[in-house]
Structure 1
Amino acid sequence: MLRRHVQTVGNLLERVVQDHVVQLRGKNPHICLWYSTVSTCNELPRKLNKSERKPPVTSFNELKREARLKKKERQKVHEVILQPPENGLLVEHLVPVAHEVYAARCELLSSVSRLVNYTAIYTCSLCGEVHVGHPPHKIKTCDVRGSPSSKEHTWVKGGVDHVLPLVESFHLYDRIGRAVSHNEMLEVDRIPAIVELCIQAGFDIPEYPTRRRSFPVYCVAGRIIDFEKRFPKEISLGEDIEAHGFWYKKKRSDDSVAMQSDDVQAIAVQGMKAWEKMRTGASKLMEKYAVQTCGYCPEVQVGPKGHRVRNCQAFKHQMRDGQHAWQEATIDDLAPPVYVYHIRDRQPWKPLVNELKRYYGMLPAVVELFSQAGAPVEKGYACMMREDIVVPELDEEKWVV
């Protein structure tokens, strides 16, 4: 009985304090009355160990149930009606989305490539951690083989690839055809996974031809039947093949869009919009067009099935003979955000220290780059930034409750 009364009094006291804070913040919205040591970065994904598998989008029990139903359907000799894009046709209302995603990606790359000339980007040469802004932080989180005993990072200059890591996928001429085998790994082009998703969704690139069907395929007793010819007459497979080496990479001019404005803030605002537009559009495409990822490594394959290349070097790859453990991918697998510590405006030219690391917020590196350039951050990142928490001084840290 006494415990219940104590809890009731505590709840009433907490409610009175919250009402008082609301009244004070109504007069001054920037006021903060206490330090908080409780982490509010609930949206950050948990860092997995090497032996852990990525959490599946669909539970394994649901996948097993669907597999049993499909097995029963294959035993019946009847036609299964397939809907686009499973039947090889395009989803018409997603074709403009594919064009928008590709344009947003080009605009994003152009914005980031220009802003890296104004904002310093650092990366650890040992663990690969990234920091946006000068000077780099002094938080001791470098814990890999070969790192110093103090766990301090060894910072070097970074670039666009550290802010926007490139995720590649095999380009498929026929998305519902057979998977890429291990012997074909050097014969099939690898392109950015988002570009491959846009191509399969209806965006045409002459450099990477793909098969566009006029008539759907049919599924009878679990087998795909295609009545069209294998290769159209207007496509010649012998053309545009370079014999001087597959390692030669062309310099594509369509990966970046020239910007005429020199306003850093305008470039940042435009890049922030392109980042959100690319991720939102890619998420819409992934609702219809399947994308596979390995459960243990960052490998991605755009298409209804994963490839058969045995190049997985993750946990217990010997038991899988180097094959990937394919599962449904998410937008973070297709465009992985690199999380970095967020630097507030009122702490310029002051490095983040290790003793106060629990008070710092985090943001994706590309968002942090645009934020430091003057672009407003959307409300969805407010919890990750932890702007509502006051960062104490070093001499005040021991008094924090």
Structure 2
Amino acid sequence: MFHTRLRTMFRQHQSLARSVNFSAETCSPRALCPATASDFVELPRKLKRSERKPWVTDVTELKRRERWRRQARRVVREVKLKPPDNGLLVKELIPVARDVLAARTRLLSCVSRVSDSVPIFVCRVCGDVHIGDPPHKIRSCDVSGSLKSKEHVWKRGGVDCIVPVVESFHLYDRLGRAVSHEERLEVDRVPAILELCIQGGVDMPEYPTRRRDFPVYLVAGRLIDFEKRFPKNGFSGKDINIRTSGFWQMRKRLNEDRGPLDFPCNDLKECAEQGMEALEKLRSGVGRLMKKYGVITCAYCSEVQVGPKGHRVRLCKAFKHQMRDGQHDWQEATFDDIFPPVYVWHVPNQPNSLLVDALKRYYGKSPALVELFAQAGAQLGENYRGIMRADVVVPSLDEERLAV
């Protein structure tokens, strides 16, 4: 009898909960007016010095892969590797690497052309960037040495302020040994995107790399390279110095006779449109290359290494670097690690509009490259509406107290 009463009370409680949930959902403002919901997207939170970068692959999956590798080393058998893990190129990605290199060159040309008409400002103290004239008056300069009012001290900036270059060690053999600490000054450092294109199949005389005709073999966890013992075709050593460490260095560096960039167009709006197109091609192409060719980054600093494993240079000065003896804590990298975005305040579609601190909650943000091309007249896609807050109307100063 007691159990029957309990079942009856439980059923009544479930029916009451269903009716309450249904009435709350039907009477909520979001259900009545779904179109009023804002599509605002928050920017990635700036990590503290003691915080680690988020994992790209889940830790459980990484542990499972490592257990499989340990078990494979115990068994003396041959494991078939696929390109590029076996040293060969992925043939379908060679045109992608060339397109990425061409898109990077065109993007730099367009940025250099547009920056002549759209000014770039950078803070002397904190390095904050603003696109357009006049620079904003938002009091966000909160670093050591800033003014008491937290206002920025602006100066004219250049292309390097909005297109930061992340460098990586150039590897002659991507499957060879890692760069040691003693060899840090003997190995060339090149932009990470350029090194990714070189490993993806782009041949550059300035930075030679080894191309294999036959794959390597993995036996009991060790790579066996027969071409190293019995080379099929020798490499021409003209204009290349062979050091005792075994690395190659070109006599004439790439930046010693670099000619001027060729502007792809004369019209400012057309150049901005081509720049946006080059940026999207660069993003998609690098994403395809990174799925096959390994790129890793330090979990606490901005160091990046293109290749299957990281170097052993002890130059990390991030959180708890003493416990690692100055070495980096490597993990899988993302596109933002090799091409970091610089976020700036978004200027509304008004000429010579001044951003003030009292209305900063109505302003959006955007990548500096996107903002530069947008002010030059380029049409933006729907991917940037969320962070730009295009659905918000910025009130005037006398209307701000009336805004809800």
TM superposition score normalised by structure 1:
0.88
How far the C-alpha of 1:305 sits from its partner, in A, is 0.5
Q: 2:153, 2:388 → 1: CA distance?
A: 25
Shift of 1:345: 1.2
Contact 1:41–1:361 (8 Å) recurs in 2: no
The answer as to whether partners of 2:114 and 2:272 remain within 8 angstroms in 1 is yes
Does residue 397 in structure 1 map to residue 396 in structure 2?
no
Aligned to 1:33: none
For residue 311 of structure 1, what is the aligned residue in structure 2? 315
Q: CA deviation at 1:4?
A: 6.6
CA distance in 2: counterparts of 1:394 and 1:56, whole angstroms: 43
Trace 1:2-401 onto structure 2 (pairs within 5 A): 7=24, 10-11=27-28, 15=31, 17=33, 40-42=40-42, 44-229=43-228, 233-236=234-237, 239=240, 250-251=255-256, 253=258, 257-259=261-263, 261-346=265-350, 348-401=351-404
Runs of 4+ in 1 over 6 A off after TM superposition: 1-6, 245-249
Cα deviation digits, residues 38-95 of structure 1 (max 9, x gap): 78123x2111111111101012222122112211110111111111000000000000
Q: CA deviation digits over 1:103-147, x for unaligned, max 9? A: 000000111111111111011122111111111111111111222
CA RMSD of aligned residues (A): 2.6
Q: Is the 8 A contact 1:186 1:246 kept in 2?
A: no
Unaligned runs of 5+ in 1: 22-35
Q: Distance in 1 between matches of 2:329 and 2:264?
A: 46
- Whole-Å Cα distance in 1 between the matches of residues 394 and 251 of structure 2? 52
The residue number in structure 1 matching 2:7 is: none
Deviation at 1:351, TM superposition (A): 1.6
Cα offset, 1:251, TM superposition: 3.5
1:260 CA drift (Å): 5.5
Distance in 1, Cα, partners of 2:166 & 2:217: 33
- Distance (whole Å) between structure 2 residues aligned to residue 304 and residue 79 of structure 1: 20
Q: Letter of the aligned partner of 1:236 in structure 2?
A: G
Q: Larger radius of gyration, structure 1 or 2? A: 2
Cα offset for 1:7?
3.6
Query: For residue 390 of structure 1, what is the amino acid of its counterpart?
Result: V
- What is the distance in 1 between the residues matched to 2:25 and 2:89? 61
Question: Structure 1 349/379 Cα, relative in aligned 2: closer, same or farther at 3 Å?
Answer: same
Secondary structure at the residue paired with 1:148? coil
1:221/1:18 CA distance change after superposition, 3 Å: closer
Query: Structure 1 residues 374, 241: closer, same or farther in 2, change over 3 A?
Result: farther
What SS does the aligned partner of 1:287 have?
A: helix
Equivalent residue letter for 1:253 = R
How far off is 1:399 after superposition?
2.1
How many pairs were matched up? 380
Give the unaligned 5+ runs of structure 2: 1-15, 244-249
Are residues 218 and 154 of structure 1, via their aligned partners in 2, closer, same or farther at CA, if it must alter by over 3 Å?
A: same
Q: 2-side partners of 1:151 and 1:76: how far apart?
A: 63
